[in-house]
C-alpha cells in the first residue's frame, strides 16, 4: 500500500514539471519576439488622420520638426477659426512651432480645403523621431460667420503617421 502513494506523487510531479518546461519555453519565445520588436503593434497600425464630422482630413505629413495637415470644412456654412492648436498625447504643446496660416482664419467657406502647417518646431519638444510612428493632436476652435464669436465650438482631430 505504501508503495503506490509515491508512484502517484511521482506522476503528478512529472506532469507539473512537463507543463512548467512548456510554459518556460513559451515565455522565452514571447520575450524574444518582444525584444526584437516583432510584437510592437505601432509598427503594424496604419497611418491615419481623423477629425470629428465638422472637418475632414484630406492629407497629412509628420516630420520631426514640421507637421502639415490639409483640412476640409464640412459644416455647410462659412466659419471663422479663432485658434488651431497642436499638442502631444499628454497635452503639452509643440514648442517653437510657427503656424501658417496664423490664427484667426476668417471666411473659411463650406467645402474649402485649408493647408495648415506648423514649421520650425524643436525636435526635442515634439517627441517625433524619424522612422517611427508619431501622433499629433489638433484642436480647432471655430464659430459660424453668421452667429459670431459668442457661439464658439471646438473640434478635435488626431494625426497618427510614420515620421519622415
pLDDT of residue 4: 52
pLDDT of residue 88: 87
Domain locations in the chain? 4-39, 43-162
Closest CA to 108 of 132, 57, 142, 85: 142
> Which one is the CATH code of 43-162: 2.170.150.20, 3.90.550.10, 2.60.40.10, 3.90.1150.10?
2.60.40.10
Q: Which position has the grid cell 497618427?
A: 160
| Mean pLDDT of the chain, nearest integer | 88
Beta pairing class for 55-63 and 66-73: antiparallel
**Predicted confidence (pLDDT) at residue 154 exceeds the cutoff of 70:** yes
Mean per-residue pLDDT for 57-72? 93
Mean per-residue pLDDT for 65-74? 94
pLDDT of residue 5: 56
Distances (CA, A) of 11 to 7, 14, 18, 24, 110: 6, 5, 11, 20, 76
Q: What is the pLDDT of residues 2-61, one digit of tens each?
A: 555 556 778 888 888 999 999 999 999 999 988 887 777 777 789 999 999 999 999 999
Confidence of residue 1 (pLDDT cuts 50, 70, 90): low
pLDDT of residue 49: 95
Amino acid at each position: 500500500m505504501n508503495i503506490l502513494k509515491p508512484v502517484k506523487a511521482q506522476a503528478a510531479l512529472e506532469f507539473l514539471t512537463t507543463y512548467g518546461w512548456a510554459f518556460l519555453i513559451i515565455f522565452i519565445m514571447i520575450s524574444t519576439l518582444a525584444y526584437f520588436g516583432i510584437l510592437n503593434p505601432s509598427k503594424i497600425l496604419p497611418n491615419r488622420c481623423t477629425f470629428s464630422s465638422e472637418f475632414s482630413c484630406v492629407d497629412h505629413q509628420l516630420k520631426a520638426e514640421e507637421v502639415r495637415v490639409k483640412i476640409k470644412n464640412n459644416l455647410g456654412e462659412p466659419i471663422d477659426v479663432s485658434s488651431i492648436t497642436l499638442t502631444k498625447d499628454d497635452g503639452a504643446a509643440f514648442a517653437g512651432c510657427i503656424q501658417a496660416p496664423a490664427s484667426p482664419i476668417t471666411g473659411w467657406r463650406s467645402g474649402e480645403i485649408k493647408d495648415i502647417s506648423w514649421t520650425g518646431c524643436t525636435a526635442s519638444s515634439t517627441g517625433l523621431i524619424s522612422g517611427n510612428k508619431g501622433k499629433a493632436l489638433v484642436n480647432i476652435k471655430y464659430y459660424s460667420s453668421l452667429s459670431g464669436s459668442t457661439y464658439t465650438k471646438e473640434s478635435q482631430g488626431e494625426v497618427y503617421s510614420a515620421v519622415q
